[in-house]
Structure 1
Amino acid sequence: MDDDSPLLDNHDIIEPLNERNDPKSIESLREWFIWSYLNVIFGLVILGVIAIGCSLRTNKFKGRQNYEKARKWSYITLIVNCIATLSGLTIFAYLIYLMSHSILIEQKQMIGKNNIVGLIHPK
């Protein structure tokens, strides 16, 4: 049974630990919880929730002292958080572009109206 499958996860099964069991190295693996929560807070809810799930998975395997799976899920969490953050920055930059573009158009329209009014009613 592969423990990476969330639907088939049985918490009562104790796996044999044939992997690296150095507590120092397993504790050095990061779960990226704060980054995941920040992605949710700043509007990337779907990717942020996925990252939180990956962080929980990493934490679970760290608790079981399963270094290889904890390292794998830590890496997956890192990648999901990178994608979420870059997506958020891209969306934010695009929104700034749209706002500045619409302001420019409004300014051009106002200048055009002032010129027409000046032609009709000279000072």
Structure 2
Amino acid sequence: MNDDDPLLTDHDVVEQSEENTNTKSIESLHEWIIWSYLNVLIGGVILGVIAIGCSFRTHKFKRRQNYSKALKWSYVTLVTNCITTLCGLCACGYLIFLYSRIISNEQKQLMTKKITTKTIL
């Protein structure tokens, strides 16, 4: 038996390709950090800060090359960001609706004042 035989076994080749694939796939995991910061800016402060924490946790596990935990935290960050974005957009939409209603009520009051002053004159 040759000394080179253990180096040429299929087991060594498969193990090396799995390491390369795992390293490449862990780098492709998203941390969603920019989206998390944007969520804080659109008004989802509490959930946005939670999403930022999840993003940092994902980054920590990516640095440690722990693929399963990095994948889990990347998914948690994605879900948190989706919920935060939806809540922030709903809150902004509600405020716009409320503001437009206040403006329309003021316009109605002005119109009734103009009508009453014209009828008095």
TM range (shorter): 0.7 to 0.9
* Worse-superposed segment, 38-47 or 103-112: 38-47
Cα distance in 2 for residues equivalent to 1:30 and 1:97? 35
Per-residue displacement from partner, 1:59-116 (whole Å, max 9, x unpaired)? Answer: 1111111111100000000000001111110000001101110111111111111111
Which residue is equivalent to 2:36?
Answer: 36
State how 1:1-123 maps to structure 2 within 5 Å. 21=19, 22-121=22-121
The answer for unaligned runs of 5 or more in structure 2 is 1-17
Cα distance in 2 for residues equivalent to 1:45 and 1:97? 21
Computing the radius of gyration from Cα coordinates, the structure with the larger value is 2
Q: Give the root-mean-square deviation of aligned CA atoms.
A: 1.1
TM-score, normalisation: structure 1: 0.79
Deviating runs (4+, > 3 A) in structure 1?
none
Cα distance in 1 for residues equivalent to 2:61 and 2:83? 23
Q: Secondary structure at the match of 1:77?
A: helix
Provide the aligned length of Structure 1 versus Structure 2. 102
Cα distance in 1 for residues equivalent to 2:100 and 2:76? 36
- Name the aligned partner's letter for residue 56 of structure 1: F
Identity of aligned residues (%): 62
The answer for unaligned runs of 5 or more in structure 1 is 1-19
- Name the aligned partner's letter for residue 64 of structure 1: R
- Name the aligned partner's letter for residue 58 of structure 1: T
